[in-house]
């Protein structure tokens, strides 16, 4: 079985999470056992898991694992299930309630704004009015963590509970001698033993070692680990006591300066992992170009470099009827990417007034959530260029396909990428692409002059000209769209699975220790 | 059922507990149901009970009651039973063991005093070495509580467990303006289907007493034995109950007029605005009863019940079979008990009777005890004086002694005096309030000496030690004349408590 290791799964997912989910679905389609494994806690994690289309059976979270709560029957906990003291009087606060014993507030019950008004948390107060603890309910219907406040009103301890109410894992917050925040963890009664961990990485290391010997995960052969976030998880994986098959997945360019692949400093995300190259059983590159670059620089160390693209185009998408190009919104240009400096939305906005001069009714939609308040900068730029009427910030969407099927052109003016999922997805929905020819991805996805145009990073005029040339030649654009549908078959499930099978064949067949 | 309400039963006890233990025995001898009731959590309580001969049906502790472990029988738990993780290296030691994860001290395992390696508690530390968690184990072999310590090193939360690991009680502590812990909330979980919240330990204690009362059909007798802890909760009980207040002390402060001086602050409310709520106020001597009746008026029901019931000695020990010139004192060491004066009296005795010996049974505050030991050296009597600390039982000590000395100036009834007389040990005591004059008949079974007349006391002791016939005569009377404090008489006095 392969486990796909990630740090977290959140509502706003980045390309790495999308790639994992697609990979999981691919493995399911071909009956290859696999699970996604995360380590960050959320009391609403399983709402996110469900929304991402992942079954609880195919997902392991560190906290769930130690709380014996990987698979919990969902139940709704409502006010009446709390059996609060009937003598307490309650006062509404929106959909939530304050409870009073006489004149003293004893509890605040926060409820979710959903159909069931399910319980989110309970806040306990003493008769001095001091907040003592907050008990958070997992959305699956059990008290999952209680945050306890110490004498100084700091959250000193977070107690993670098993569904039967037993204390499973305790996170202790404290300050070190420099008054910096630090944490330690105490695991209670785990198979009859107590464990103490000096930090989250040590706990993560222990978690992975427990997975490595968990009979339920090892019944059909040894485990293999695909580490999708090596910056966060690499230490824990390479310090495991049990030696299991482990590979590092690159999701982006592994160097900072793509013009000097052999000598450039390494992308911080992969630096530590690549510095420990020989401890891995393999590195997975996303594109042939990246595979060659990694091979050139690191090949002599003898670790196998695989090439497996992250994006997968589902069979039903490939088989779906094509959108009649005439029905697409005339001159609608979209960009689907996080609002983030390396995506260089600012370059596109710089080119936009030039485009408007030639195509006055052109519209630009920017989809994606913002990083580091980059959206503020972009909005200021739009306002300075007075292009508010033709540029719209649309935010994050869960139905990106509708965007791809409505627009005429997708732009990706990034300075660096791994293998952008959005390009493959857009292409599979017949959307022509204008993208910077940077590392890595655009040149592997876009076939220049056939289903899109490759532009030079930093050449704003060239970017404007490329977009103008296509918008003003609707016939050519329609041909590009037809090609896009055809070319996306390169990312079909069967083709990508073939590449994974090569890796699966390299895994040991017996458990080593 | 009669319930004797106290705070604790410890390895070393005061006269409050000893009065209760004697009372428990008296009730047991008369097949009358009675129980000691304690408030404090105590992981070694059931070991202490064994030591004092108290059985599970004779004591109910608040935590045992809510944990439903009053009768729980477990197995002693040792380090190897903890199944500590194989990654940890465990050191060796008689009182504690260190648990290391590589070079980091992860935890220390502490053993219960007086046991061979039985787990008392485990302290866990963060990587800076600060205590974060303490697991405390009941001596019967289960984890009874987890206590959590905050960034400032103070305990802010505790979870109490049944042997099956189920949590039955949560306690919360906040900081007072004096930087001391205040127990600001207690949550009793799922007690008969309902969580119960208590803003203080007192509220929880009162609820416990009510539940205990109801579990025994109500209308039981509850006696407040330790005023500081028992009075308020018993007054706050809601169920049908007979309330009694036992006075283990004088009702006024040391040296003050018992009729007119302000009441001891611990008793102030209980004997004034709440006086009518007691079915009776119990004192141990007629003298204190007379004073109290005068002070409190006719509406107060003041009962006298001897606190040191004595059974007829099964076997008499002749003076010639005892250690020659062995003197003893029994009771707490302290300046209020005038232990310094006792040593000075003994110095005078030893000057006349060079082989006289004095053994002091009892504990004291560490500073006071050190001072008394120094005083014995300064008086050059340290070779003849033994500080024997607290011991139980003392029957053998009484059977070896020739005289019991008491140089106190105040008490509610010196219990050891009754025990001494029951063992044929004559008593030489100052005539203080309350007690000596109701047990000692001067020149019959001992000597009453005017308060603080130390020279007279030394002289009286020397006379007795120099006259074996006289000493034997007093001893015979001590054995014979127990009418005031015999178990039979005491039991009759108890019949007034209903």
At residue A511, the pLDDT reads: 67
Q: Are residues A207 and A187 in the same domain?
A: no
- Which residues of chain A from 96 to 125 reach within 8 Å of chain B, CB to CB? 101, 104, 106, 124
Contact list, B197 vs chain A (CB under 8 Å): 85, 101, 106
Q: Are residues A296 and A332 in the same domain?
A: no
How many C-beta atoms surround the C-beta of residue B421 within 10 A? 30
Residue for token pair 């001086």: B261
Q: Are residues B7 and B21 in the same domain?
A: yes
In a domain, residue B488? The reply is no
In a domain, residue A456? The reply is yes
Alpha helices in A154-263 (DSSP H): 200-212, 230-238
Q: Are residues A148 and A243 in the same domain?
A: no
Contact A227, A233 (CB under 8 A): yes
Q: Are residues A266 and A390 in the same domain?
A: no
Q: Are residues B367 and B462 in the same domain?
A: yes
Question: Inter-chain contact A151–B148, Cβ cutoff 8 Å?
Answer: no
Q: Are residues A320 and A299 in the same domain?
A: no
Q: Are residues B40 and B175 in the same domain?
A: no
Q: How many independent structural domains does chain B possess?
A: 3
Distance, in Å, from the CA atom of B264 to the CA atom of B254, rounded to the nearest integer, reads 9
Contact B310, B22 (CB under 8 A): no
Q: How far is B208 from chain A (nearest CA, A)?
A: 18
Contact list, B175 vs chain A (CB under 8 Å): 151-152
SS3 content of chain B, % helix, strand, coil (to 5): 30, 30, 40
Residues A113-126: what's their mean pLDDT?
Answer: 94
At residue B128, the pLDDT reads: 87
Question: Inter-chain contact B132–A186, Cβ cutoff 8 Å?
Answer: yes
Residues near A327 by beta carbon (within 8 Å), at least 6 away in sequence: none
Range of the domain at B167: 79-198
In a domain, residue A351? The reply is yes
Residue B415 has pLDDT above 60, yes or no: yes
Residue B84 has pLDDT above 70, yes or no: yes
Q: Are residues B388 and B408 in the same domain?
A: yes
Q: How far is B153 from chain A (nearest CA, A)?
A: 9
Q: Are residues B326 and B440 in the same domain?
A: yes
Strands B427-430 and B446-449: parallel
Residues B2-22: what's their mean pLDDT?
Answer: 96
Question: Inter-chain contact A151–B172, Cβ cutoff 8 Å?
Answer: no
At residue A177, the pLDDT reads: 80
Residues B399-422: what's their mean pLDDT?
Answer: 96
Q: How many independent structural domains does chain A possess?
A: 3
Contact B434, B287 (CB under 8 A): yes
A459 to chain B, any CB pair closer than 8 A? The answer is no
Q: Which residue of B has its CA nearest to A125?
A: B185
At residue A513, the pLDDT reads: 52
Q: Is B172 helix (H, G, I), strand (E, B) or coil?
A: strand
Tell which of A152, A182, A197 closes a domain.
A197
* φ/ψ (deg, to 5) at A238: -75, -15
At residue B176, the pLDDT reads: 83
Residue A14 has pLDDT above 90, yes or no: no
Q: Which residues of A10-24 are buried (b: 16+ CB within 10 A; e: fewer)?
A: eeebebbbbbbbbbb
Tell which of A256, A273, A307 closes a domain.
A307
- Across the A:B interface, residue pairs with CB atoms under 8 Å apart total 114
Q: Which residues of A463-473 are buried (b: 16+ CB within 10 A; e: fewer)?
A: bbbbbbebbee
> For residue B389, how far is the Cα from the chain centroid?
14
Q: How far is B169 from chain A (nearest CA, A)?
A: 13
In a domain, residue A502? The reply is no
Q: How far is A507 from chain B (nearest CA, A)?
A: 29
Contact list, A133 vs chain B (CB under 8 Å): 157, 172
- The radius of gyration of chain B's CA atoms, rounded to the nearest angstrom, is 25
Q: Are residues B441 and B344 in the same domain?
A: yes
Q: Are residues A275 and A412 in the same domain?
A: no
Task: Nearest by CB to B106, from A101, A104, A196: name it.
Answer: A196
pLDDT digits (tens, 9 = 90+) for B458-495: 999 999 999 999 999 999 999 999 988 999 999 999 99
Residues A355-369: what's their mean pLDDT?
Answer: 96
Chain B interface, best mutation among A82, A100, A132, A152, by max B CB count within 10 A: A132
In a domain, residue A63? The reply is yes
Question: Inter-chain contact A156–B150, Cβ cutoff 8 Å?
Answer: yes
Q: How far is B232 from chain A (nearest CA, A)?
A: 19
Task: Nearest by CB to B151, from A84, A85, A152: name it.
Answer: A152
Residues B65-77: what's their mean pLDDT?
Answer: 97
In a domain, residue A509? The reply is no
Distance, in Å, from the CA atom of A487 to the CA atom of A483, rounded to the nearest integer, reads 6
In a domain, residue B495? The reply is no
Q: Which of A205-209, A301-305, B310-314 has the lowest mean pLDDT?
A: B310-314
How many C-beta atoms surround the C-beta of residue B193 within 10 A? 6
Question: Inter-chain contact A124–B159, Cβ cutoff 8 Å?
Answer: no
- The radius of gyration of chain A's CA atoms, rounded to the nearest angstrom, is 26
Q: Are residues A426 and A355 in the same domain?
A: yes
Chain A interface, best mutation among B105, B126, B181, by max A CB count within 10 A: B126
Q: Are residues B335 and B449 in the same domain?
A: yes
pLDDT digits (tens, 9 = 90+) for B427-448: 999 999 999 999 999 999 999 9
Q: Are residues B149 and B249 in the same domain?
A: no
Q: Work out the pLDDT band at A371, boundaries 50, 70, 90.
A: confident
Distance, in Å, from the CA atom of A194 to the CA atom of A206, rounded to the nearest integer, reads 13
Chain A interface, best mutation among B133, B154, B177, by max A CB count within 10 A: B133
Helix or strand (DSSP H, E) at A430: none
At residue A224, the pLDDT reads: 96
Alpha helices in B187-299 (DSSP H): 201-215, 227-235, 286-296
Question: Inter-chain contact B184–A101, Cβ cutoff 8 Å?
Answer: no
- Max CA pair span of chain B: 74
Chain A interface, best mutation among B157, B161, B164, by max A CB count within 10 A: B157
Task: Nearest by CB to B156, from A151, A192, A194: name it.
Answer: A151
Q: Are residues B373 and B475 in the same domain?
A: yes
Question: Inter-chain contact B184–A128, Cβ cutoff 8 Å?
Answer: yes
Residue A154 has pLDDT above 70, yes or no: yes
In a domain, residue B161? The reply is yes
Rounded (10°) CA dihedral B461, B463, B469, B475:
-20
Q: Are residues B471 and B389 in the same domain?
A: yes
Contact list, A174 vs chain B (CB under 8 Å): 126, 128, 130, 132, 151
At residue B428, the pLDDT reads: 98
* CATH classification of the domain holding B186: 3.90.930
pLDDT digits (tens, 9 = 90+) for A53-72: 999 999 999 999 999 999 99
In a domain, residue B132? The reply is yes
In a domain, residue A148? The reply is yes
* CATH classification of the domain holding A151: 3.90.930
Question: Inter-chain contact A156–B151, Cβ cutoff 8 Å?
Answer: yes
At residue A421, the pLDDT reads: 80
Q: Are residues A212 and A185 in the same domain?
A: no
Q: What ipTM is given for this predicted complex?
A: 0.79
Range of the domain at A136: 79-197
Exposed, middle or buried by CB within 10 Å (0-12, 13-18, 19+), for B424?
A: buried
In a domain, residue B280? The reply is yes
Contact list, B199 vs chain A (CB under 8 Å): 104, 126-127
Q: How far is B152 from chain A (nearest CA, A)?
A: 8
Side-chain-side CA neighbours of A439 within 13 Å: the count stands at: 20
Q: Are residues B122 and B30 in the same domain?
A: no
Contact list, A99 vs chain B (CB under 8 Å): none
Question: Inter-chain contact A186–B197, Cβ cutoff 8 Å?
Answer: no
Q: Which residue of A has its CA nearest to B128?
A: A176
Task: Nearest by CB to B150, from A126, A152, A170: name it.
Answer: A152
Residues B6-32: what's their mean pLDDT?
Answer: 96
Residue A512 has pLDDT above 70, yes or no: no
In a domain, residue B485? The reply is no
Distance, in Å, from the CA atom of B136 to the CA atom of B134, rounded to the nearest integer, reads 6
DSSP letter, residue A413? -
Residues B152-160: what's their mean pLDDT?
Answer: 91
In a domain, residue B178? The reply is yes
Q: Are residues A437 and A329 in the same domain?
A: yes
pTM, rounded to two decimals: 0.83
Q: How far is B238 from chain A (nearest CA, A)?
A: 17
* CATH classification of the domain holding A449: 3.40.50.2000
In a domain, residue B312? The reply is no
Q: Which of A179-183, B139-143, B329-333 has the lowest mean pLDDT?
A: A179-183
Nearest 5°: the CA angle A110, A112, A116 is: 120
A193 to chain B, any CB pair closer than 8 A? The answer is yes
Chain A interface, best mutation among B150, B155, B164, by max A CB count within 10 A: B150
Q: How much is the mean pLDDT over chain B? A: 95
Q: Are residues A329 and A272 in the same domain?
A: no
Q: Are residues A33 and A87 in the same domain?
A: no
Residues B292-310: what's their mean pLDDT?
Answer: 95
Contact B62, B36 (CB under 8 A): no
Distance, in Å, from the CA atom of A442 to the CA atom of A20, rounded to the nearest integer, reads 20
Contact A276, A335 (CB under 8 A): no
Q: Which residue of B has its CA nearest to A132?
A: B172
Tell which of A286, A307, A328 closes a domain.
A307
Residues A151-161: what's their mean pLDDT?
Answer: 91
Q: How far is A350 from chain B (nearest CA, A)?
A: 52
Q: Are residues A335 and A401 in the same domain?
A: yes
Q: Are residues B268 and B358 in the same domain?
A: no
Q: Which residues of B272-285 are buried (b: 16+ CB within 10 A; e: fewer)?
A: eebbeebbbbbbbb
* CATH classification of the domain holding B31: 3.40.50.2000
Distance, in Å, from the CA atom of B446 to the CA atom of A388, rounded to the nearest integer, reads 110
Distance, in Å, from the CA atom of B447 to the CA atom of B435, rounded to the nearest integer, reads 13
């Amino acid at each position: 079985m392969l486990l796909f290791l990630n740090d977290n799964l959140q509502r706003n997912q980045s390309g790495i999470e999308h790639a994992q989910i697609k990979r999981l679905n691919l493995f399911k389609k071909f009956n290859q056992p696999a699970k996604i494994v995360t380590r960050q806690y959320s009391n609403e994690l399983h709402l996110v898991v469900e929304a991402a289309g992942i079954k609880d059976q195919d997902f392991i979270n560190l906290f769930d694992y130690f709380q014996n709560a990987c698979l919990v029957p969902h139940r709704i906990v409502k006010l009446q299930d709390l059996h609060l003291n009937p003598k307490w009087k309650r006062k509404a606060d929106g959909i939530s309630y304050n409870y009073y014993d006489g004149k003293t507030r004893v509890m605040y019950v926060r409820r979710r704004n959903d159909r069931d008004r399910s319980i989110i948390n309970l806040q306990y107060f003493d008769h001095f009015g001091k907040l003592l603890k907050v008990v958070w309910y997992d959305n699956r219907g059990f008290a999952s963590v209680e945050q306890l406040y110490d004498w100084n009103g700091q959250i000193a301890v977070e107690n993670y509970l098993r569904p039967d109410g037993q204390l499973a894992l305790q996170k202790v917050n404290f300050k070190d001698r420099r008054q910096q925040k630090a944490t330690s963890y105490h695991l209670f009664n785990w198979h009859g033993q107590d464990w103490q961990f000096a930090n989250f990485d040590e706990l993560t290391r222990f978690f992975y070692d427990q997975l490595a010997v968990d009979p339920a995960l090892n019944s059909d052969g040894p485990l293999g680990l695909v580490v999708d976030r090596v910056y966060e998880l690499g230490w824990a994986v390479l310090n495991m006591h049990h030696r299991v098959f482990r590979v590092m997945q690159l999701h982006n360019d592994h160097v900072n300066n793509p013009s000097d692949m052999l000598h450039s400093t390494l992308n911080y995300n992969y630096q530590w992992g690549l510095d420990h190259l020989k401890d891995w059983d393999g590195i997975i590159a996303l594109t042939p170009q990246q595979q060659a670059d990694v091979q050139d620089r690191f090949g002599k160390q003898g670790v196998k470099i695989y090439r497996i693209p992250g994006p997968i185009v589902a069979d039903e998408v490939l088989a779906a009827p094509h959108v009649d190009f005439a029905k697409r919104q005339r001159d609608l240009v979209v960009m689907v990417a996080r609002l983030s400096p390396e995506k260089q939305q600012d370059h596109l906005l710089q080119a936009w007034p030039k485009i408007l001069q030639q195509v006055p009714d052109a519209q630009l939609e920017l989809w994606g959530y913002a990083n580091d308040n980059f959206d503020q900068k972009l909005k200021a730029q739009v306002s300075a260029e007075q292009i508010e009427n033709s540029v719209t910030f649309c935010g994050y969407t869960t139905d990106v396909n509708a965007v791809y099927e409505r627009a005429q052109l997708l732009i990706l003016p990034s300075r660096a990428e791994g293998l952008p999922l959005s390009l493959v997805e857009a292409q599979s929905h017949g959307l022509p692409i204008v993208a910077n020819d940077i590392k890595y991805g655009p040149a592997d996805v876009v076939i220049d002059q056939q289903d899109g145009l490759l532009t030079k990073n930093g050449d704003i005029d060239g970017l404007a000209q490329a977009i103008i040339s296509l918008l003003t030649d609707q016939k050519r654009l329609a041909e590009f769209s037809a090609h896009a549908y055809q070319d996306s078959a390169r990312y079909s499930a069967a083709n990508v699975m073939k590449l994974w099978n090569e890796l699966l064949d390299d895994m040991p067949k017996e458990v080593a220790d | 059922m009669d319930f004797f309400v106290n705070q604790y039963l410890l390895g070393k006890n005061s006269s409050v507990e000893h009065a209760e233990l004697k009372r428990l025995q008296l009730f047991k001898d008369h097949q009358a149901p009675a129980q000691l009731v304690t408030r404090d959590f105590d992981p070694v309580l059931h070991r202490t009970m064994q030591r004092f001969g108290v059985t599970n049906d004779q004591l109910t502790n608040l935590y045992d009651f809510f944990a439903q472990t009053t009768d729980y029988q477990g197995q002693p738990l040792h380090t190897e039973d903890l199944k500590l993780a194989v990654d940890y290296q465990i050191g060796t030691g008689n009182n504690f063991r260190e648990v290391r994860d590589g070079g980091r001290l992860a935890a220390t395992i502490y053993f219960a005093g007086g046991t061979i390696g039985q787990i008392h508690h485990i302290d866990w530390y963060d990587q800076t070495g600060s205590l974060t968690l303490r697991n405390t184990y009941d001596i019967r072999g289960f984890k009874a509580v987890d206590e959590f310590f905050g960034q400032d090193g103070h305990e802010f939360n505790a979870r109490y467990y049944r042997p099956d690991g189920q949590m039955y009680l949560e306690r919360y502590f906040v900081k007072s303006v004096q930087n001391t812990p205040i127990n600001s909330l207690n949550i009793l979980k799922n007690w008969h289907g309902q969580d119960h919240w208590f803003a203080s330990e007192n509220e929880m204690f009162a609820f416990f007493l009510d539940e205990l009362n109801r579990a025994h059909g109500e209308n039981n007798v509850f006696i407040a034995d330790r005023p500081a802890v028992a009075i308020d909760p018993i007054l706050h009980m809601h169920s049908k109950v007979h309330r009694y207040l036992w006075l283990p002390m004088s009702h006024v402060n040391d040296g003050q007029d018992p009729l007119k001086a302000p009441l001891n602050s611990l008793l102030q409310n209980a004997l004034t605005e709440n006086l009518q709520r007691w079915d009776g106020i119990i004192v141990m001597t007629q003298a204190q009863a007379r004073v109290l009746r005068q002070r409190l008026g006719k509406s107060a029901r003041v009962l006298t019940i001897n606190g040191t019931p004595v059974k007829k000695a099964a076997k008499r020990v002749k003076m010639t079979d005892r250690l020659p010139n062995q003197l003893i004192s029994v009771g707490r060491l302290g300046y209020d008990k005038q232990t310094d004066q006792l040593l000075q009296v003994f110095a005078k005795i030893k000057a006349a009777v060079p082989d006289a010996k004095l053994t002091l049974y009892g504990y004291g505050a560490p500073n006071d005890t050190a001072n008394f030991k120094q005083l014995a050296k300064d008086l050059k009597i340290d070779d003849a004086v033994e500080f024997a600390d607290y011991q139980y039982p003392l029957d053998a000590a009484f059977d070896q002694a020739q005289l019991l000395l008491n140089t106190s100036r105040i008490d509610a009834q010196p219990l050891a005096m009754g025990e001494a007389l029951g063992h044929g040990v004559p008593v030489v005591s100052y005539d203080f309030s309350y007690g000596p004059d109701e047990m000692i008949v001067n020149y019959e079974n001992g000597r009453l000496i005017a308060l603080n007349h130390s020279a007279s006391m030394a002289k009286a002791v020397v006379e007795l030690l120099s006259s074996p016939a006289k000493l034997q005569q007093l001893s015979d009377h001590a054995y014979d004349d127990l009418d005031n404090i015999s178990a039979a008489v005491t039991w009759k006095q108890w019949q007034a408590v209903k």
